[in-house]
Amino acid sequence: MENGHLPHYFIAVELSEGLKKWLALQQSKLQLTIGHNTYKSWTAEADFHITLAFLGALPAQQIEQLMTCMRKQESLLSDTVCIADLHFFGNATGPRVVWFGIAEEQKIMTFYSIVQKWLSNLKSPPINQSFQPHITIAKKCQKKWLTPLVLRKLDDHFSDCYSEHLKAICLYSIDMMSVPKYKCVYRLPLK
């Protein structure tokens, strides 16, 4: 326990170093196009992931239960997905979050369903929220910037795709004071 508070956790698809480097390059192109100060928070290269479930603060007993569910999981088959297309959550001219989508969402949804089964085994499972598979690039918009002209520039700069062979699902702990902010505390390899 840190300062009397329970650590926060989430479950996510782990990304390869190659994809993280590609995402960091895309992020740099975005920063050059819209300005670095447009967002308060830019995801660090080491922290890129595809969230499957945000768990929040959980006691050690529930984390142990969750890791037991993960250990008992029969082999999960790996798959390849295409990371493409820049998207936005929030305000139309100053979106709160900038993210990359996954072209084959159904492949990620399979993992999401399995994670929801694991969570249902906890004594007090986290609330099941709507789910949109994505990789966050930036968040906490500080100024309006999204105009039709900028959108055209973004379409020109972000038209390629990165194919990723998924290798693992991880249970991450969050330490907002560190870089990277996320630490894999349990890793479930995909076959």
Catalytic residues: 49, 134
Q: What is the DSSP string of the chain?
A: -BTTBPPEEEEEEE--HHHHHHHHHHHHHHHHHH-GGGEEEE--GGG-EEEEEEEEE--HHHHHHHHHHHHHPPPPPP-EEEEEEEEEES-SSS-SEEEEEETTHHHHHHHHHHHHHHHHTSSSPPP------EEEEEEEE-S----HHHHHHHHHHS---EEEE--EEEEEEE-TTSSS-EEEEEEEE--
